[in-house]
């Protein structure tokens, strides 16, 4: 027997509509939101004007990078941290790493780590919270610093022109939807084989075949990553100094109209060689600070989250939980120190 008191009644809907149309502000808001979207329509122009755009300390960065319709914010932020150091060390006006290069290997490594997690929880009920967490997003885009560091440690880095963006890196939803669906099929197959008595060695052999399919999906969607590439960059300071001398009549080399800046040139360099030679940062020298204000997680302690490694042989993700004022001070100190 149904309870009519729980239903939305037609006379109540008519009253909702009447009340809505009686207020002109609702109609103005609807016109704006339907035309330009809720966020744009809700933007406060006075708030925008009052928000300062000038800062007492600013770092000289390169051009703006764009993750487009993908969940690679952590990857872009991490690479921008490294490119800042690279640009200043080598005197470059601008530079951008290939985000797609790490995106390819992240998809591969997350797929492998997921299947390894499946193998380590074969007797776990599929409706347990642990297995549901493992199975939630096998190779989703998201991540944080330690995941980035694990990828760089294993695969190195390349410039953007050595492995540019693709349609599926700029808009990753469809690619990751198909990849995750396939991975869950692989997981179901592994669990069925385990229930039928297959040994862990047999299951791992099946997993290796599964990873061949994953590689094919990644290569078709993103293109294969380069094993070697050429690199050319021009140092900015030399050009500025020569131009100034020429303007003052003190230069032995007058302006010719050509780009006379000193060149950095590499031929056939590997991603790992490029990282070690040109990036003046060891990605393992940094730690992750978080502000998690929970009674069950006291501040000033380090925490590790199980089953979170994107690279199977790397450590699970960990962070130091600090109060918000410590978190803010660390950020300000880091910027103040350049």
Helix, strand, or coil (residue 290): strand
Average per-residue pLDDT in the chain? 93
Angstrom distance (rounded) from CA 242 to CA 165: 36
Which residue(s) pair with 229 in the sheet?
269
Angstrom distance (rounded) from CA 135 to CA 126: 9
Q: Is residue 319 part of a domain?
A: yes
Angstrom distance (rounded) from CA 227 to CA 250: 46
Q: Is residue 128 part of a domain?
A: yes
145 and 27 within one domain: no
* Residues 170, 112, 277, 143, Cα dihedral to 10°: 50
Q: Is residue 5 part of a domain?
A: no
244 and 204 within one domain: no
147 and 29 within one domain: no
Q: Give me the DSSP letters along 222-240.
A: H-PPPSSEEEEEE-HHHHH
Predicted pLDDT of residue 61: 84
71 is written with which tokens? 């969940």
Of the three residues 269, 290, 322, the one that is the final residue of a domain is 269
40 and 184 within one domain: no
Total domains present in the chain: 3
Asked if residue 155 lies in contact with residue 272, where contact means CB atoms within 8 angstroms, the answer is yes
252 and 150 within one domain: no
H-assigned helices in 51-98: 73-90
Domain coverage including residue 238: 229-269
Predicted pLDDT of residue 240: 55
Q: Is residue 251 part of a domain?
A: yes
For the chain, give the number of residues.
Answer: 338
Per-residue pLDDT tens over the stretch 126-168: 999 999 999 999 999 999 999 999 999 999 999 999 999 999 9
Per-residue pLDDT tens over the stretch 264-305: 999 999 999 999 999 999 999 999 999 999 999 999 999 999
CATH of the domain at 100: 3.90.70.10
117 and 30 within one domain: no
158 and 124 within one domain: yes
Residue 244 pLDDT more than 80?
no
Question: What value, to the nearest 5°, has the Cα angle with vertex 288 and ends 287 and 293?
Answer: 140
Per-residue pLDDT tens over the stretch 3-54: 778 999 999 999 999 999 999 999 999 999 999 999 999 999 999 899 888 8
Which pTM value belongs to this model? 0.86
Q: Is residue 274 part of a domain?
A: no
Q: Is residue 65 part of a domain?
A: no
Q: Is residue 64 part of a domain?
A: no
287 and 261 within one domain: no
Residue 199, classified by CB atoms within 10 Å of its CB into exposed (0-12), middle (13-18) or buried (19+), is exposed
192 and 43 within one domain: no
262 and 127 within one domain: no
Which residue(s) pair with 279 in the sheet?
none
93 and 137 within one domain: yes
77 and 41 within one domain: no
């Amino acid at each position: 027997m149904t309870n009519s008191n729980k239903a939305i009644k037609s006379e109540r809907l008519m009253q909702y509509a009447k009340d809505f149309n009686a207020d002109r502000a609702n109609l103005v808001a609807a016109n704006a939101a339907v035309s330009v979207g809720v966020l744009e329509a809700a933007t406060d122009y006075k708030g925008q004007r009052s928000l300062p755009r000038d800062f007492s300390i600013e770092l000289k960065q390169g051009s703006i990078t764009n993750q487009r319709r993908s969940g690679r914010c952590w990857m872009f932020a991490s690479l921008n941290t490294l490119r800042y150091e690279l640009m200043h060390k080598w005197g470059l006006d601008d530079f951008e790493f290939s985000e797609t290069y790490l995106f390819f290997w992240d998809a591969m490594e997350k797929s492998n780590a997921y299947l390894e997690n499946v193998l380590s929880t074969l007797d776990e009920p599929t409706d347990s919270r642990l297995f549901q967490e493992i199975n939630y997003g096998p190779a989703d885009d998201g991540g944080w610093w330690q995941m980035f560091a694990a990828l760089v440690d294993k695969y190195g880095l390349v410039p953007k022109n050595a492995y540019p963006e693709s349609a599926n890196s700029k808009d990753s939803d469809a690619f990751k939807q198909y990849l995750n669906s396939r991975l869950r099929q692989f997981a179901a197959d592994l669990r069925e084989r385990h229930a039928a008595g297959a040994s862990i060695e047999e299951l791992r052999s099946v997993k290796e075949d599964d990873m061949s399919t994953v590689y094919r999906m990644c290569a078709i969607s993103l293109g294969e990553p380069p094993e070697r590439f050429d690199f050319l960059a021009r140092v900015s300071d030399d050009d500025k100094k020569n131009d100034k001398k020429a303007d003052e009549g003190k230069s032995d080399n007058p302006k010719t109209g050509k780009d006379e800046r000193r060149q950095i040139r590499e031929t056939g360099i590997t991603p790992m060689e490029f990282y070690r030679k040109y990036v003046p940062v060891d990605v393992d020298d940094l730690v992750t600070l978080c502000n998690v204000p929970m009674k069950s997680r006291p501040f000033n302690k380090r925490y590790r989250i199980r089953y979170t490694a994107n690279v199977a042989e790397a450590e699970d993700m960990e962070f130091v939980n600090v109060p918000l004022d410590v978190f803010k001070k660390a950020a300000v100190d880091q910027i103040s120190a350049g």
